[in-house]
Structure 1
Amino acid sequence: MSETEATDPKVLLGHHLKKLKLPTILAEYDKQARQCAEQGIDHPRYLLRLVELELIERQRRNVERRIRAAKFPASKSLDSFEFKALPDLNKVLVLELARCEFVIRRENIIALGPSGTGKTHLAIGLGLAACQKGMTVGFVTAAGLVNQLAEARDEKRLMRLQASLAKLQLLIIDELGYVPLSQTGAELLFEVISQRYERGSTIVTSNLAFEDWTSVFGSERLTGALLDRLTHHVHILEMNGDSYRLKQSKARQASHGR
C-alpha cells in the first residue's frame, strides 16, 4: 500500500473490511450510505442495515457450502414433489418432517416403495431442508457407500471415514436393495448404521419391503439387528404407486408425437 493509499479512508476501510472478511459490507456500504442519506436514516440504522445484509449473505453462502458438501445427485426440493401422484403418502407427515425436528431428536426415516415413485426426490428434499436449517448432511447410495467403506478399509483409513459419517447430523442412504451386498459389505454398512444409532438421523430409501431385506444382507441375524436400530425411532413413508417417472416419459413421448 502506497503512502497516499494509506491515508485514503476508503482504501483503508476496504483493506480493513477484507481483513475482517466482511465482503458484503465492503460491496454495499457506499450505496447504502447514499440511500440512507436520501431517506433520512440515522447512523445506527444504517449500520444495522449493513450488518443484516452481511449476515443474510453469509447464511446463504453457508447453505450453499452445506449443499455442496452433501453431494446430492440433483437439486430437488419438496416444492416440486408430486404428492398427487401418491395419494396414500402422508403429506402432512412429510411437511412436518421438512421442519427437520426429527434430526434434532435423532430419529430415522425409511421410505419404501417401487422404483420411480419419488423416494430419492423426497430424500433429497428433506436433505436440502436440513441444509437450509444449518445441519450437516451427506447423501450416498447404499452400493456407493459400501464401495467407499471397502476402499477405505483397504487403504487403512476406515476409522477416519466412519468417524466422518458418524458426525453427520443427517445421513441419506439411497437405493438400498437394488444391489445385493457381499457379507463384508453388509457388515460394513451395518457398522455405519450401528454407530449412528441414537447419535444421528438416517434416511434410508428402499424398493424392498422389510421382510425382503435379508436378500440384500444375506443374514437374518444381521438384518434383524440392523432393523432393530433403524426402526427404534423411525418414521416410515409408504410410497406405493405407479412410477411417475414412467408417466412423465409417456407424456413427453405423446407430446412429441403430435
Structure 2
Amino acid sequence: MNARRGVTEEAAVAAIDSACRLLRLPTIRARFADIAADSQREQLSYLGFLAELVMVECEDRDKRASARRITAAGFPRTKILADFDFTANPAIPAAVINQLATGAWVKAGQPLCLIGDSGTGKSHLLIALGTAAAQQGYRVRYTLTSKLVNELVEAADDKQLSKTIARYGRVDLLCLDELGFLELDRKGAELLFQVLTEREEKSAVAIASNEAFSGWTKTFTDPRLCAAIVDRLTFNGQIIETGTTSYRLEHSRAARSSQ
C-alpha cells in the first residue's frame, strides 16, 4: 500500500509507529506491517485492511484483560476445565459443570457448593470455574477460607472491617476453598457470615468443602450461625457432591502397580 501525499514509505512507517505508541495500540504497532503485506497480497480494500487492524488489537486487548483478571483472582495454580478428567470421577456430572462454565450463575449472583472428600476434584473445579468466569469478564477472587477469616479479624482489629468487607463485596465471584477444614471461633465465623450476607442474592459465591453440611457444626460451633451460613450458601444455588473416592490416591496406586 503506497504512502499518500508524497510521504515516503519509511516516513509512513515511522508515523504509524509513533501514533500507535501515543494511542497505546501495541498490537497494531507490532503487526501493522505484516497485516499490510497480507492485505496487499489478498487485495483487500482499505476498509478491509482497517478492519483487520482493529480486530487484532481488540482480540489481543481482550486476552491481556483476561490474563490480568486471572492474575488478580489469586489462584494458587493453573486449572482449566479442559484438563479435568470426568471419567476418573463419574460422580461429577459433566453436563452440569459445562453449564456452569457458561457463567450464567455468576451473572445471576447464585452460590455453588462443591462437597466431597480430599482428592475428588473440588479445588480443580473451583479454580477452573473461577478461571472461566474471569475469562468471560467477571471479577473473581480466590482465597482459602481460613486466610479470609484471618484477614477479616485483622481488619476488625485495625478498624478497617467495613472497607475489607466492601472490597470482597465488589468482586463478581468469590471462591472459598477448604471451608470446613478448620474450626472457626465465634468471632471468625461471624465475620465470614458478614461477607456472605454482603453478597447474598447479589454476587456469586463458590465454596469447596470436604465436609457434608451435617458436619459443618464442627467448623461453625454455634448451631444457629451454622444454619444461617448454610442457608446463605445454598439458597437458589447449585450443590455438587464429588464423592468419597480420591482420584489422586487411585492414580498413585495405579502408578505404583504399573512399575
Q: Does the pair score TM above 0.5?
A: yes
* TM-score (ref. length: structure 1): 0.93
- Structure 1 residue 86 displacement after superposition: 1.9
Equivalent position of 2:238 in the other structure: 235
Q: From 84, 89, 92, give the equivalent of 2:92.
A: 89
Tell me if 1:21 matches 2:24: yes
Mapped partners of 1:170, 1:251: distance in 2: 36
Equivalent residues in 2 for 1:25-64 (5 A)? 25-64=28-67
Residue 128 of structure 1 pairs with residue 116 of structure 2: no
Kindly indicate whether residue 77 of structure 2 is the aligned counterpart of residue 74 of structure 1.
Answer: yes
Q: How does 1:124-163 map to 2 (within 5 A)?
A: 124-163=127-166
- Superimposed CA distance per residue, residues 161-183 of structure 1 (whole angstroms, 9 cap, x where no aligned partner): 11110011100001111110111
Q: In the TM superposition, what whole-angstrom CA distance separates every residue of 1:159-214 from its partner, at most 9, and x where no partner exists?
A: 22111100111000011111101111111111111110011000011111111111
Of the candidates 204, 207, 213, which is equivalent to residue 207 of structure 2? 204
Partners in 2 of 1:85 and 1:228 — Cα distance? 31
Query: Could you tell me how far 1:14 is from its partner in structure 2?
Result: 1.6
Secondary structure of residue in 2 paired with 1:217: coil
Determine the structure 2 residue equivalent to 1:107.
110
Match of 1:192 among 178, 183, 195: 195
- Name 1:4's counterpart in structure 2: none
1:224 equivalenced with 2:227 (yes/no): yes
Mapped partners of 1:98, 1:70: distance in 2: 17
Identity of aligned pairs, percent?
38
Q: Is 1:174 paired with 2:188?
A: no
Can you give the 5+ residue segments of structure 2 that lack an aligned partner in the other structure? 1-9
Whichever residue aligns with residue 248 of structure 1, its letter is: H
Q: What TM-score, normalized to structure 2?
A: 0.93
Shift of 1:249: 2.3
2:213 paired with 1:215: no
- C-alpha separation in 1, matches of 2:164 and 2:113: 23
AA partner of residue 208 (structure 2): T
1:85–1:241 contact (8 Å) kept in structure 2: no
Contact kept, 8 Å, 2:108 with 2:202, in 1: the verdict is no
Partner in structure 2 of residue 3 of structure 1: none
SS at 1:107 equivalent = coil
Give the letter aligned to residue 22 of structure 2: K
Could you tell me which amino acid in structure 1 is paired with residue 51 of structure 2?
L
How far is the alpha carbon of 1:24 from its aligned partner?
A: 0.5
Q: How many residues align?
A: 250
Give ranges in structure 1 of 5+ residues lacking alignment: 1-6
Q: Report deviation, 1:247.
A: 1.8
Q: Distance in 2 between matches of 1:158 and 1:82?
A: 40
Deviation, structure 1 residue 31: 1.4
Deviation at 1:82, TM superposition (A): 1.8
From 224, 244, 247, give the equivalent of 1:244. 247
RMSD after superposition = 1.4
Report the Cα distance in structure 2 between the residues aligned to 1:137 and 1:241, rounded to whole angstroms.
Answer: 28
d(CA) in 2 for partners of 1:78 and 1:234?
A: 20
Aligned partners of 2:89 and 2:247 also within 8 Å:
no
